[in-house]
Amino acid sequence: MTVVDQTPSEPTDARGRVAELHSLREQARRGPSDRATEAQHAKGKLTARERIALLLDEGSFKEVEQLRRHRASGFGLEAKKPYTDGVVTGWGTVEGRTVFVYAHDFRIFGGALGEAHATKIHKIMDMAIAAGAPLVSLNDGAGARIQEGVSALAGYGGIFQRNTRASGVIPQISVMLGPCAGGAAYSPALTDFVFMVRDTSQMFITGPDVVRAVTGEEISQNGLGGADVHAETSGVAHFAYDDEETCISEVRYLISMLPSNNRENPPVHETTDPADRRSDVLLDLVPADGNRPYDMHKVIEELVDDGDVLEIHERWARNIICALARLDGQVVGIVANQPAHLAGVLDIEASEKAARFVQMCDAFNIPIVTLLDVPGFLPGVDQEHGGIIRHGAKLLYAYCNATVPRISLILRKAYGGAYIVMDSQSIGADLTYAWPTNEIAVMGAEGAANVIFRKQIAEAEDPEAMRSRMVKEYKAELMHPYYAAERGLVDDVIDPAETRETLIGALAMLRSKHADLPSRKHGNPPQ
């Protein structure tokens, strides 16, 4: 059944008006037609209301402006005035906590944004900010409604302005479940997290046809802006999944790790994982030889409650790990070098990834635990010309600006500027621990010996023997495990097996930490 204009006939009494109301609500809930719903399902996509039902606790959704209709005319619009105007807005709960949501209905005008459509989104965003509750957008729209011209474009401006106003105030999560092209793509980019579904969601500023016309490059929509591209190459998407059900389930999980707003702490979950659980396995997971790789994921899983970790940007900039997890039921943000990928060096993308994560944690009162095993910044012409200085400074700025509890742990290598940037004590870490395998220095012993003892090595009868001797001497003098501790740059050298208990105890002590930043309108971070 296709609904063109649902203007009702005039009822004659109160019962008739109530019946009319229920009829209109049913029309709005059903959508434009069964055929449109079938077409949506044929693409492997759910409807807006089906998606909302997956996101929110059963029966909790309260809709806002369900009977809103556009007032535009021309190009045939006056004959098509469906209820909701192509976007479903309202609030409900996730694990009992209030969450606001808007979902594009692709069955109506292809989910395109017009004036009434935008006004509904503006209202629900304002409500989320005022209520101090997370906002989830379920995106499946064809961009601005061309028939409404500049009014549609102005609607996007209102969304962007509210995205910015809500930044760092409430969690904002964008779930891409269909196309998102042109200026519409900037709203997800302004939010805290972006989820995508493979094959059905794409994001790009200019589509394949425009790219082909301007540059001559041939590429598909997924090849240009699909989930895997943005999860692995561009870093636009934080998460990518194979289907909508899994994607939305993970959105619920993420919400469970975040506070409702910047004035609250993240939810605490009871755990049966003992706070004083020893982790002797760590002694075997991490080789003492700094040149041997290992998987930092296994270290993190061993430390946190029940090995349960939600990694952010898992497939982008894999030389650094950013994850949310719990220690004794309390949510923490973990930043860790990954020796299994590029030896755990910091480069442009890793610096950007970690900087944004640190800022997010600081905005939402999530303590930060940093696990160091970093040989330095990645050398190379491409890195220098790409601006590794300013990109690396983003991570430095983020840590220096963070006022949440900050604990750093040095597992093995911590060399040069990368050691400083990765939340060293000198830039404000509240507590710094190290394992007995730590090596904190300006650079590796081999490189340092080559610089300091260059003349002696060159003049020696056996340069290699001399170099070997000088390396051992440098290590013995400046790189032994207790050098930094002796100078107060490490608060304690700990048994790796006791790391979990040490971190939990330190975080408990820091839970009431309060730190004020200087009065200012805002900082001017490196770009």
pLDDT (tens digit per residue) in 243-299:
999 999 999 999 999 999 999 999 999 999 999 999 999 999 999 988 899 999 999
d(CA 367, CA 423): 13
- Quick one: tokens of 52? 């909302």
Which conformational region is residue 133 in: left (phi greater than 0), alpha (psi within -120 to 50 degrees), or beta? beta
Out of 158, 207, 329, 417, the active site residue is: 417
Query: Is residue 6 scored above 60 in pLDDT?
Result: no
Residue 137, strand partner residues: 102, 174
- Sign of torsion, CA 351 356 362 366? negative
Nearest to 369 by CA among 309, 315, 283, 306: 309
Q: What confidence category does residue 8 fall into, taking pLDDT thresholds of 50, 70 and 90?
A: low
- Cα separation values, 113 from 35, 52, 190, 414, Å: 22, 19, 18, 50
- Quick one: tokens of 10? 């005039």
Query: Is residue 7 scored above 70 in pLDDT?
Result: no
Of residues 84 and 194, more confidently modeled: 194
pLDDT score recorded for residue 1: 45
Query: Is residue 70 scored above 80 in pLDDT?
Result: no
Query: Is residue 51 scored above 50 in pLDDT?
Result: yes
Query: Is 182 assigned a catalytic role?
Result: yes
Segment 446-475 mean pLDDT: 77
Query: Is residue 479 scored above 90 in pLDDT?
Result: no
- Quick one: tokens of 103? 């979902």
Query: Is residue 468 scored above 90 in pLDDT?
Result: no
pLDDT score recorded for residue 485: 87
- Secondary structure, 3-state, 279-291: CCCHHHHCCCCCC
Q: What are the DSSP E strand ranges found in 209-302?
A: 239-241
pLDDT score recorded for residue 445: 66
pLDDT, the chain, mean: 91
Q: What confidence category does residue 470 fall into, taking pLDDT thresholds of 50, 70 and 90?
A: confident
10 Å Cβ neighbour count for 192? 24
pLDDT score recorded for residue 76: 64
10 Å Cβ neighbour count for 332? 26
d(CA 127, CA 125): 5
Q: What are the DSSP E strand ranges found in 192-319?
A: 193-197, 202-204, 239-241, 309-312
- Cα separation values, 249 from 95, 244, 252, 508, 520, Å: 12, 8, 5, 30, 40
pLDDT score recorded for residue 255: 98
The per-residue DSSP string of 318-352 comes to TTEEEEEEEETTEEEEEEEE-TTTGGG-B-HHHHH
pTM for the complete prediction?
0.91
**What is the DSSP-derived secondary structure letter of residue 194?**
E
Out of 142, 355, 418, 445, the active site residue is: 418
Highest mean pLDDT among 348-352, 447-451, 475-479: 348-352
Query: Is 225 assigned a catalytic role?
Result: no
Rounded to a whole number, what is the distance in angstroms from the first to the last CA of the chain? 53
Out of 182, 235, 329, 386, the active site residue is: 182
Q: CB under 8 Å to 88, separation ≥6 — which residues? A: 48, 49, 52, 63, 66, 102, 103, 105
CA trace torsion 272, 278, 280, 282 (10° rounding): 70
Out of 110, 183, 235, 386, the active site residue is: 183
Query: Is 488 assigned a catalytic role?
Result: no
